[in-house]
Structure 1
Amino acid sequence: MNRPYPDLLNLSQAYIESIDRNQLTKNDLEDFKKPAGEKKAIISSISSILRTGKARQVSLQDNRWLDEQTLELESIKLIKNFLEQIIGL
């Protein structure tokens, strides 16, 4: 599968995995320990490079997260169809 920003993805994954969680409090890790917490941290890490200081949503809108190739992925097509049926996009 061809992903946008493969280097940023690999580096962000390595960065998140390298964090010494023993240095963080239970409160610090509250959101991180949620089911999607680590994935959100990876996405946030990438978006902080692409749109420094801006919300992740801005990066998703402004950058190549969903290019022509990723829009052809079956999982993305399913999401698009779901949204079309639910809210008429």
Structure 2
Amino acid sequence: MFAVMSTPIRLRIINALFQGERNVGQLLPLIDVAQPNMPQYLNIMCRSGIWSKRRRGAQMFYRIADEKAVVVCRAMCTQVAIDAAVN
């Protein structure tokens, strides 16, 4: 899990999915990543089991499948914020 969550973009994706499932079009403005790169990030995290996906028509929707990822992500983000405030 830590290896998969080792990039800021992946943490931003998890953070964007805290509120519920989203499709790529909904994630892109929240993540600030180029659309061609998004499938790479999403597939890595789907294979890891951190989240799952479902298809509705032509769209793919992603949601958090492992709640431990939410706990770890929040802890990491909180610690980064604390460290930034101290320094």
TM-score (norm 1): 0.30
Larger strand proportion of the pair: 2
TM-score (norm 2): 0.31
